Each structure stands twice: as structure tokens, then as C-alpha cells.
Amino acid sequence: MAKQIYSFTKIEKKKTNSGVITTVIGAVTILALIGLVVAAVVMGGNVPLWMAGVGVITLIAALVGLIIARESIKDDDVFGRCLNTGKALCGVSLGLHFFIVIVGILAIVM
């Protein structure tokens, strides 16, 4: 009878740049959103159209950051505090964007 051979390999978890990227994307989108809200309040709601474009771009960037973080977390050999922080920041940014959109819709309807 043949001997069974067992192989014990150490699974090393690695840090990736995706954690840093998602953290930066999340922080930039939240800061841009705060800047846009402050500008809208200062201007009395009469902001130029390009500012709405910046808001849409930050919304898309937050969504992309959340997708990058989610896909990276799925990998078993990836870890990092930046990855979870970036996912949280992008999620908060998306939540704030949708809150502002809902408030705007309700302001028009009511």
C-alpha cells in the first residue's frame, strides 16, 4: 500500500493597493460632497450646473470604490484595515448621496 503524502502550506495574506485606493476614493468623495453642500447653502441653492456634474462624478466614484473594496474582500488571501475603512467610507458616501437626492426629490414634490 502506498504511503499518503500530506502537504502543509502556509497561506500568507497580503496587503493590496486596493485598500488604499478605496480609502482615498471614499475620503475624496465625502470631502467633495461636504464642499458641494456648503457651496449650495452659501449660494442659496443656485449653484452652477457643473457643480451638479461634480456631484454625479463623486457618486459614481463612491460606487466604483465600493465595488473595488467588495471584490477585494472576497479574496481569501487579502487583508487590511484600509480595505475595510475604504469600504465604510464609500458606503457612507453613497448613503449621503442618496439622502441628498431623496431630500431634493421631496423638496420638489412637496
In the structure grid, which three cell numbers stand for residue 70, read together? 467588495
pLDDT tens track for 12-65: 666 678 888 999 999 999 999 999 999 999 998 888 999 989 999 999 999 999
Domain boundaries, the chain: 17-109
Q: Cα–Cα distance between 100 and 48 in angstroms, integer?
A: 17
Q: What average pLDDT does the structure give for the chain?
A: 87
Its pTM stands at 0.79
For residue 4, give the DSSP letter. Answer: P
On the question of pLDDT at 71 being above 80, the answer is yes
Report how far apart, in Å, the C-alpha atoms of 3 and of each of 6, 8, 9 are: 10, 16, 19
